[in-house]
Chain A
Amino acid sequence: MTTDTGHVTHEGPAPARGLRRVTAPGFLRAAWMAPLFFGIGLGLVVFFRRLAGWDPVFDWTIIVAVGALTTAPFGFLGGIGVFDYWLRYVSGAPTRPEDHSSHGARRWQDYFRVNTDHKVIGVQYLVTTFAFFIIGGLLAMFFRAELARPGLQYMDSQTYNGLVSAHAVLMIFLFIIPAFAGLANFVVPLMLGAPDMAFPRLNALSFWLLPIAGIMFISSFLAPGGAFAAGWTGYPSLASGAPLGQTIFNLGVQWAGASSILTALNFLVTIITMRAPGMTFWRMPLLVWANFTTSLLVVIATPFIAGSQFFVLFDRVLHTNFFNPSEGGYVLGYQHIFWFYSHPAVYIMMLPGFGIVSEVIAVFSRKPIFGYRLMALSLMGILVLGFSVWAHHMFVAGMAPWLRVPMMVSTLLIAVPTGIKIFSWLATMWEGRLHFNTPMLFALGFISMFVLGGLSGIYLGSVPIDIHASDTYFIVAHIHYVLFGGSVLTIFAGIYYWFPKMTGRMYNERLGKVHFWLTFVSFNLTFFPMHWLGLRGMPRRVSDYADRFGDLNLVITISSFALGASTVVFFYNIITSWARGPIAVSNPWRSMTLEWQVSSPPPIFNFDEIPQVVGGPYEYGVPGARHAVMSGGAAGALQETHP
Chain B
Amino acid sequence: MRRGSILRMVTIGVVAGVVTALVAVLVPWLPTSASEEMDRIEAVFWFTTVISIVIFALVTAVLVYMVVKFRASPDDESDGPPIHGHTGLEIAWTAFPAAIVTAIAIVSAVALSRNGDAGTNPVRVRVVAQQFAWKFEYPGAGVTSGRLVLPVGRSTELELGSVDVIHSFWVPEFGQKSDAVPGIKTRLVITPTRLGTFPVICTELCGLGHATMRTEVQVVQQKEFDAWLAEQKAGAGAGGALFVAQGCGACHALAAAGTDAQVGPSLDGVAKAAATAGLPVAEFVRESILEPDKVIAAGYSKGVMPGTFAGLPKDQLEALVAFVVGGKGS
Q: Do A and B come from one complex?
A: yes
A interface residues (Cβ-Cβ under 8 A, vs B)? 156-158, 161, 230-231, 235-238, 241, 325-326, 329-332, 365-368, 370-374, 396-398, 401, 404-405, 408-409, 412-413, 415-416, 419-420, 422-424, 426-427, 429-436, 444, 447-448, 451-452, 455, 458-459, 461-465, 467-468, 470-472, 531-532, 535-537, 539-546, 590, 619-622, 625
Flag if A396 contacts B59 (CB, 8 Å): no
Could you show 10 A-B contacts with beta carbons less than 8 Å apart? A331-B184, A365-B80, A415-B97, A431-B81, A434-B66, A434-B71, A451-B56, A465-B108, A467-B41, A537-B199
Query: Closest CB of chain B to A192's CB: distance in Å?
Result: 22
Cβ-defined contact, B101 with A416, below 8 A: yes
Question: Whole-angstrom distance from the CB of A82 to the nearest CB of chain B?
Answer: 37
Indicate which residue in B72, B83, B104, B164 contacts A368 across the interface (CB closer than 8 Å): B83
B40:A435 contact, CB within 8 angstroms: no
Partner of A157, one of B29, B51, B109, B210: B210
Taking CB atoms, residues of chain A closer than 8 Å to B81 are 367, 431, 621
Known contacts A370-B84, A459-B48, A537-B31: does B93 contact A419 (CB below 8 Å)? yes
Stretch at the interface among B200-208, B267-275, B289-297: B200-208
Asked if A416 and B97 sit within 8 Å, CB to CB, the answer is yes
Q: Which of B80, B112, B210 is the one whose CB lies under 8 Å from A431?
A: B80
Q: Pick from B183, B203, B205: contact of A325, CB below 8 A.
A: B183
Task: List chain A residues, Cβ under 8 A from B160.
Answer: 398
Closest to A239 in B: B165
Residues of B close to A470: CB separation below 8 A: 177, 203
CB distance from A308 to the nearest CB of B (A): 15
B63 part of interface (Cβ distance < 8 Å): yes
Minimal Cβ-Cβ distance residue in A for B55: A455
- The answer to whether A546 and B199 touch (CB under 8 A), given A237-B182, A451-B56, is yes
Given A367-B83, A622-B82, decide whether A539 and B170 contact each other with a Cβ distance below 8 A: yes
User: Would you call A464 and B111 a contact (CB within 8 A)?
Assistant: yes
Q: With contacts A404-B112, A413-B98, A459-B52 known, what are 9 further pairs, Cβ within 8 A?
A: A370-B84, A398-B179, A398-B181, A448-B59, A448-B60, A468-B175, A471-B168, A537-B172, A537-B201
In the complex, B218 has a CB within 8 A of chain A: no
Smallest beta-carbon distance B51→chain A, Å: 8
Instruction: Specify which chain B residues have a CB less than 8 angstroms from the CB of A452 in the assembled complex.
Output: 56
Ordered nearest first, which 10 A-B pairs have the shortest CB separation? A325-B183, A621-B79, A537-B172, A398-B186, A471-B203, A433-B72, A542-B211, A412-B101, A367-B80, A432-B80
Contacts of B67 in A (CB 8 A): 434, 436, 444
Residues of B within 8 A of A620 (CB): 79-80, 82
A535 touches B30 (CB 8 A): yes
In the assembled complex, the CB of A500 is this many whole angstroms from the nearest CB of chain B, namely 16
When distances are taken between beta carbons in the complex, the residues of chain A under 8 Å from B77 are 590
- Shortest beta-carbon distance from B83 to chain A in Å: 7
Enumerate chain A residues within 8 angstroms of B301, measured Cβ to Cβ.
Answer: 156-158
B166 contacts the other chain (CB 8 A)? yes
Least Cβ distance of A104 to chain B in Å? 34
User: Which B residues form the contact surface with A (CB < 8 A)?
Assistant: 27-31, 38, 40-41, 44-45, 48, 51-52, 55-56, 59-60, 62-63, 66-67, 70-72, 74, 76-86, 89-90, 93-94, 97-98, 100-102, 104-105, 107-109, 111-112, 115-116, 160, 164-166, 168, 170, 172, 175-179, 181-184, 186, 199, 201-212, 301, 304
Q: Name the CB-closest residue of A to B202.
A: A539
Instruction: Determine the distance from Cα of A380 to Cα of B94 in the docked complex, in whole angstroms.
Output: 15
Assembly CA distance A423 to B184 (angstroms): 45
Which chain A positions have C-beta within 8 A of B207?
238
CA distance A570 to B74 in the complex (A): 23
Q: How far is the CA of A340 from the CA of B101 in the complex (A)?
A: 23
Given A238-B206, A465-B44, A542-B210, is A427 in contact with B89 using a C-beta cutoff of 8 Å? yes
Q: Is the CB of A237 within 8 A of B164?
A: yes
Q: How far is the CB of A627 from chain B (nearest CB, A)?
A: 14
What CA separation (Å) do A372 and B90 show in the bound complex? 11
CB distance from A560 to the nearest CB of B (A): 19
- Whether B83 contacts A431 by the Cβ 8 Å rule is yes
With contacts A157-B211, A430-B66, A542-B210 taken as known, whether A471 is within 8 angstroms of B204 at the C-beta atoms is yes
Q: Which residues of B have CB within 8 Å of A467?
A: 41, 115, 175-178
With known contacts A365-B80, A458-B52, A371–B210 Cβ distance under 8 A: no
Contact of A444 with B63 in the complex, beta carbons under 8 Å: yes
Cα distance A472–B184 in the bound complex, in angstroms: 23
Chain A residues near B79: list those with CB within 8 A: 366-367, 433, 620-621
Q: Which residues of B contact A540 (CB under 8 A)?
A: 203
Give, as a whole number of angstroms, the nearest-CB distance from B127 to chain A.
12
Task: Select from chain A the residue with minimum beta-carbon distance to B178.
Answer: A396
A331 with B182: CB separation less than 8 A: yes
* Min CB–CB distance B181 → chain A (angstroms): 5
Report how far A158 CA is from B302 CA in the complex, Å.
Answer: 11
Assembled-state Cα–Cα distance A325/B168 (Å):
17
In the bound complex, do residue A372 and residue B85 qualify as a contact, i.e. CB atoms below 8 Å apart? yes
Closest to A235 in B: B166
Q: What is the bound-complex CA distance between A272 and B209, given in angstroms?
A: 52
Interchain CB contact under 8 A, A415 and B175: no
**Chain A residue nearest in CB terms to B98:** A416
State A436–B71 Cα separation when bound (angstroms).
Answer: 8
A439 to chain B, nearest CB (A): 15
Of B85, B115, B212, the contact of A464 (CB 8 Å cutoff): B115
Q: Which chain A residues border B109 with CB–CB below 8 Å?
A: 405, 408, 463
In the complex, residue of chain A having the shortest beta-carbon distance to the beta carbon of B208: A157
Report Cα–Cα, A371/B205, bound state, in Å: 45
Complex Cα distance, B48 from A455, in Å, reads 9
Known contacts A415-B101, A465-B45; is-contact A405 B182 (Cβ 8 Å): no
Cross-chain contact A372 with B84 (CB below 8 angstroms): yes
Are B178 and A462 closer than 8 Å at their CB atoms?
Answer: no
| A366 pairs with B205, CB closer than 8 A | no
A238-B166, A468-B177, A539-B202 as given contacts; A416 in contact with B80, CB under 8 Å: no
Contacts of A472 in B (CB 8 A): 170, 203
Interface contact B178-A532, CB-CB below 8 Å: no
A326 to B201, CA, bound (A): 26
Distance in Å: Cβ of A583 to nearest Cβ of chain B: 19
Quick one: which of A326, A426, A468, A542 contacts B62, CB cutoff 8 A?
A426
Alpha-carbon distance between A620 and B82 when the two chains are bound, in angstroms: 6
